[in-house]
Amino acid sequence: MYHYTEFDRRFVRARAAQYRDQLERHLRGELSTDDFRALRLQNGWYVQRHAPMLRVAIPYGELSSRQLRQLARIAREYDVVSDGPFAGHGGYGHFTTRQNLQFNWIPLDKSADVMDLLAEVDMHGIQTSGNCIRNITSDAFAGIAPDEIVDPRPYCEILRQWSTLHPEFAHLPRKFKIAISGAAEDRAAIGWHDVGLQLKKNAAGEVGFQVFVGGGMGRTPIPGVEINAFVPWQQILVYLEAIVRVYNLAGRRDNLYKARIKILVKAEGQKFFDDVNEEFARILADDPAGHEQIIPQAELDRVAASFVDPAGAAPAADAVLDTADTAFARWLSRNVHGHRVSGYRAVTLSLKRVGIPPGDTSADVMDTAAALADQFSHGELRVTHRQNLVLPWVKTSDLPALFQAARAAGFATANAGLLTDQIACPGGDYCALANARSLPLAAEIAERYQDADELEDLGEIDLHISGCINSCGHHHSGHIGVLGVDKDGAEWYQLTLGGSDGSTLSGATAPGKVIGPSFAADEIADAIDAVLETFKRERQAGERFIDAVKRLGLDSFKTAANAVRVSTARAQA
């Protein structure tokens, strides 16, 4: 993990002090609600349906047990509703698809105290919201994946530092998300980001970035396109400066829904590429400060020194495991992942449990996960794009004990990558933007599909649920995507099939296609059932859901889903 320097610590404390000053001026009436909005957003504070929401950055998904315990403390002591209609709510956090943790019930007047507590453990909410460069995300298996080409974490950290309180890029036309992958398999959905960076080695063995730009979800889902096949790693900050400057100056600001960089890239096409590449060349040629943005080897080495294997984690022979217990065997095959270091595995702690919204984690559960990390993973955890936790350093000989402990704590649902490992945003239950609730549907799916054999039989399926077109639940990239829409005050759900996050399994980054008009709230789970039944009936031997959708097209799924429209029929009668 990255080790904060004294400078990093003083910086985060200065930011917390700055926020406290802004909050106090706001509470005294010297800073209006309107003017305060952009300031609190850039520190992670939203005002939501019932209460403020705090989004804490977990930079590129790396989390220590010490940090997780502090997050548990914040959940327990600050995320508390003591009176009013929601008395008793709170006490938990929600892990998001972008490696953040959200608290839903912290009162705004306590927000500066919470920032101080975060700063105590080298954490913050800087730029987790607002129209700025957001928390930089990466592969949850960074540094340990067997298919890794280059460890992305040192670059992630250098980019985190570069983007933090960047004075020129603090008020962009819209939010700006960067994801970095360093492996053969893209586990960071880089094609869906404003900038996606793929680490590569060229023929000479030199490291650089393939740069994609203009990806994004929302109203207009567009996969990113390659703007540069290979930017040497030393120049990546300069290249990003060029992209973000062109966007800052030329991106649309007249229409919120057309302000993302994807719209600029789409509208200008080659001209955008030319503008960026010319700006990049001019920074290097003309700007006295240009060369100072080139990352020296010494800086990469300094940061990379934080990302070494934990002390005592040495390669060993794999333990021979007794897999007579089918539950254990299934957990091994689903939730236990390959590791770069022999004798080790990465283990998914599933946060997808019946009765609990995807990603939600109570203070006690956080403490339990921290204890498991201490006992089995050198105190280290990862937060995944799929809203789970990962223990990255588990000895094969510890797997039976970890399985028992994880099962006792409710983390051992062996569903990683399966239907019920679904992604869902908090939806209309909490979010002020949502058109419909996501969590009741997620709960219904979790309830209906508890049979492990049935789940295995269905195979890998990405089910993604968003409560509105902002797409926090990534419905566009789901093999099955569900989007909540509002029709005359009622909740309806649009169903899409065939979306891809860009992984090998899912194919090239692509949004799913809508099958027919929206379904009523009491139809959507049945519609998903109908789609899955159709898949079971029409699939070829060993065929995965996404492949079947690609082969069969939408019609048979659409016909089956339409047959469940009982409420729709009644409403139209």
Of 32 and 559, CB closest to another protein: 32
* Residue 400: exposure state from Cβ atoms within 10 A (0-12, 13-18, ≥19): middle
Does the CA dihedral 255-260-518-489 come out positive or negative? negative
The nearest distance, CB 491 to another protein, in angstroms, is 32
Q: What is the radius of gyration, based on Cα positions, of the chain?
A: 23
Give the orientation angle of helix 439-448 with respect to helix 524-538, to 10 degrees: 40
- CA-wise closest residue to 134 among 262, 294, 287, 244: 244
The two tokens of residue 395 are 């000895």
Percent helix / strand / coil, the chain, rounded to 5: 40, 20, 40
**Amino acid occupying residue 205:** G
Write out the binding residues for another protein, residues 39-58 only, by CB under 8 A: 39
Of 170 and 371, CB closest to another protein: 170
Write out the binding residues for another protein, residues 120-149 only, by CB under 8 A: 131
The nearest distance, CB 506 to another protein, in angstroms, is 36
Contacting residues for 206 by C-beta, under 8 A, at least 6 apart: 232
Please report the DSSP string for 122-139 in residue order: T---TTSSSSSB---EE-
Stretch near another protein under the rule CB under 8 A, chosen from 4-12, 377-385, 447-455, 534-542: 4-12
Of 267 and 314, CB closest to another protein: 267
Give the orientation angle of helix 363-376 with respect to helix 65-77, to 10 degrees: 170
Return the residue of 84, 85, 167, 542 that touches another protein, per CB under 8 A.
167
3-state DSSP assignment of residue 414: coil
Of 162 and 230, CB closest to another protein: 162
Neighbours of 380 (CB within 10 A): 20
Write out the binding residues for another protein, residues 512-541 only, by CB under 8 A: none
The two tokens of residue 218 are 């929302």
Binding of residue 447 to another protein (CB under 8 A): no
Stretch near another protein under the rule CB under 8 A, chosen from 28-36, 207-215, 355-363, 407-415: 28-36
Of 123 and 561, CB closest to another protein: 123
Please give the size of the binding site for another protein, defined by CB under 8 A.
42
The nearest distance, CB 114 to another protein, in angstroms, is 19
- CA-wise closest residue to 106 among 26, 34, 46: 46
The nearest distance, CB 35 to another protein, in angstroms, is 6
Write out the binding residues for another protein, residues 261-320 only, by CB under 8 A: 282, 286-289, 292-293, 295-296, 298-299, 302
The nearest distance, CB 164 to another protein, in angstroms, is 6
The two tokens of residue 340 are 């770069």
Write out the binding residues for another protein, residues 169-198 only, by CB under 8 A: 169-172
Return the residue of 24, 109, 168, 226 that touches another protein, per CB under 8 A.
168
Return the residue of 87, 184, 229, 249 that touches another protein, per CB under 8 A.
249
The nearest distance, CB 503 to another protein, in angstroms, is 32
Stretch near another protein under the rule CB under 8 A, chosen from 25-33, 100-108, 269-277, 356-364: 25-33
Does the CA dihedral 514-387-356-427 come out positive or negative? negative
| d(C-alpha 568, C-alpha 573), whole Å | 9
Contacting residues for 246 by C-beta, under 8 A, at least 6 apart: 272, 275, 276, 279
Stretch near another protein under the rule CB under 8 A, chosen from 30-38, 111-119, 428-436, 487-495: 30-38
Return the residue of 1, 2, 16, 22 that touches another protein, per CB under 8 A.
22
The two tokens of residue 304 are 């990379």
Stretch near another protein under the rule CB under 8 A, chosen from 193-201, 245-253, 460-468, 547-555: 245-253
Residues that bind another protein (CB under 8 A): 7, 10-11, 14, 17-18, 21-22, 25, 30-31, 35, 38-39, 131, 161-162, 164-172, 245, 248-249, 253, 282, 286-289, 292-293, 295-296, 298-299, 302
